[in-house]
Structures are given as structure tokens and as C-alpha cells.
Amino acid sequence: MWSVSLLMRNAARTLSARYWSAFVASLLYWLFFIVCVVTLYLLNGRLFLLDVFLMALCFFTYNGCLFVGLKRFFQEFRIGGAPFATLLSPLQSFCVVRIFFILLWRQVITLLFSLLLVFPGIWKAYELKMVPFLLAENPELSQKRAFTLSRQMTKHEKFRLFLLEVPFFIVWGVSIFFLGYFALAVFLFSFPFYCAVQAEAYALLRAKAFSENWTAQDELSGFHRYPIPAMEDLEYEK
């Protein structure tokens, strides 16, 4: 059994000595998006084809390469000194296009469920929440296998996964309401903690998948452990 406070503490412990590395990685993740948005604003529709190309490139990058790369970075970050190049790790596997379409299909399914009512869409989003983490660990996973494994991992866990994100939603919502443009700074500085907490959740559900024999080492072989200064091992309550 796990608790929200347990994962929060583990994430805080991971970030305590290396927060700025995580912050820089998060900033690099958003930098490309910011550059695309600023460029589109400056072009102001004068070059239609370039606008379309930039929008397509931005969507492809964030729904594929960088999105999965960020998940892998924080998984490796929680156990070692992950390099920033990990953000581009999907490019090294030559599966980035397939990853993009798997995640796109995940979004389409979630959207279709959302058309029924809001709740089915939220339920489906949390059911498939582990898909990008699974693809970060094993880019060779098929769409069917990634979806099935995510369903198994999140069974009876969806509500607690939702509770894990509620504090961040509250902080970001309140900052937008009271701080205006300064809410962007709140988001950027808290985003590494959000990613670290999500990495803890995946690590825990991954351990659950192994204990239930839903997967094996040949399918999920783990993440590279880069050397870092002395670091306490994270422990989960039994």
C-alpha cells in the first residue's frame, strides 16, 4: 500500500541536492515550445506554410520525442545523474515516429471517452497514464502491449494517482488567479517536483507489475544508472 505523502517525500528527497539539474532539464523541455510560439507570434501569419510547419513540428516533438524523453530523464534522475541528452533518447531508438502515433492514439481515445461525459475521459486518461513511461523504458513496445500493461498497472490506482496531482492543480490554479503572469514562474519552478513525483509513481507501479508477474525483465529492463555523489536509497512502505 502506498500513500501520496510517501511519494511526495521520496520526490523531495531526490530533488533536495539536485534540484537545479532537474530545473534545467524541465526548462530545456519547454524551451523549444517557447521558441516556436514566439516565432509564430513574430511571423503573424505572413508565411502560412512556415506557420503550419512550425505548429506540426512543435506538436510532433512534444507528443513524441521530448514528452517520452522527459519521462526517461526523471526515471534515470531518481537513481542517478541523468544527462540532459536523455531528453532526446527516443531519437536514439529510431522509434520516435511510432511512439508519436501511439501517444496520438492515446489522446484520441481519451478525447472520444471525454465526448461521452467528462468523467469517462478522466478515467481513461488515468488508465493510460503509464503508457509514455513504458515507452520511455522500452520504445519497442507495441501499442496494444503498452495499453494493456498500463491498464493493469493503474487498476485500483486511478483515484490515488489523481490525488497525487491535486496539490499541483491547486497551486497552479491559485497562482493563475492571484499572480497573473507570475504564475508562469510558479509553474516552471514547481514542474520539476511534479515530474519527480510522477517518476516515483511509475517506479512503484512498475514494481507492482513485476510482483504480479504482468511483465518481466526482458520486457522492462530498467533505466541506466549514471554515477552521482552519495545518495540515499529510496524506500517504499510495505
Band of residue 178 on the pLDDT scale cut at 50, 70, 90: confident
pTM, two decimal places = 0.86
44 vs 132: which has the higher pLDDT: 132
Q: Domain count of the chain?
A: 1
For 111, the grid coordinates are 478525447
pLDDT band at 236 (very low <50, low <70, confident <90, very high): very low
SS3 135: helix
Lowest mean pLDDT among 32-46, 90-104, 135-149, 159-173: 32-46
The answer as to whether 232 is a domain residue is no
Domain that holds residue 194: 4-211
- Is 238 a domain residue? no
